[in-house]
Amino acid sequence: MSEAERTGRPAIEISEDDYPEMEAVAAIQRGLHAYNQEMGGPYDREPVTVLARDAGGEVRGGLLGLTYWNWLFIDWLWMASDQRGQGLGGQLLERAEAIARARGCTHAYTDTFSFQAPGFWSRHGYAEFGRLEGMPPGHARIWFQKAL
């Protein structure tokens, strides 16, 4: 008797796929989003995008994030190397935090690497709450959070 016959459940085949179809990826995302909302409540994920453009309209920096469950998640914050150290990153962050507050967010979080200026986050009121040493080798991945 097969496992499917014995348990009454359809047989499942496990496979690897280096280039999954978009429908397969979407099925995983839909399934996890549905479960998360079932357990944690609706989260109305909304993007946060704040850009820094030069006079010619070229993007010289930006912040990409999401708001959900009263949190701002900052996924990406980047400034072109010739724009760093001028306070523009802080302005992007302040604008994103203002958007998040307007959406009812009470906290923010992000992660960065030890070679990506973690001091920036500390200077802007973020506190470290997790660290993974050796990722990548010789460095660390660091998580920060802040009450808004």
Segment 2-42, tens digit of pLDDT: 667 777 788 889 989 999 999 999 999 999 989 999 999 98
68 in the same domain as 29? no
Residues 31 and 54 in one domain: no
What is the spatial distance between Cα 114 and Cα 66, in angstroms, rounded to a whole number? 23
* Same-domain pairing of 48 and 35: no
Tens of pLDDT along 57-91? 999 999 999 999 999 999 999 999 999 999 999 99
Domain match, 71 and 95 both: yes
Q: What is the DSSP letter of 81?
A: G
Q: Which are the contacts of 108, defined by CB distance < 8 A and separation ≥ 6? A: 71, 72, 73, 74, 97, 100, 126, 145, 146, 148
pLDDT of residue 124: 98
**Domain membership of residue 139 as a residue range:** 44-147
Tell me what pLDDT residue 95 has. 98
Q: How far is residue 21's CA from residue 19's CA, in Å, rounded to a whole number?
A: 7
The answer on 140 and 79 residing in a single domain is: yes
Whether the Cβ atoms of residue 68 and residue 44 lie closer than 8 Å to each other: yes
The reported pLDDT for the residue numbered 91 is 98
Q: What is the pLDDT of residues 85-112, one digit of tens each?
A: 999 999 999 999 999 999 999 999 999 9
Per residue in 129-144, pLDDT (tens digit) is 999 999 999 999 999 9
Shared domain for 65 and 138, answered yes or no, is: yes
Residue 10's pLDDT is what? Answer: 84
* Same-domain check for residues 68 and 134: yes
At 44 the pLDDT is 85
Both 18 and 51 in one domain: the answer is: no
Domain total in the chain: 2
Q: In terms of domains, do 87 and 140 share one?
A: yes
Whether 35 and 63 share a structural domain: no
Domain CATH code at residue 134: 3.40.630.30
Q: Based on the domain organization, do 28 and 69 belong to the same domain? A: no
Claim to verify: residue 58 and residue 131 sit in the same structural domain? yes
For the entire predicted model, the pTM comes to 0.85
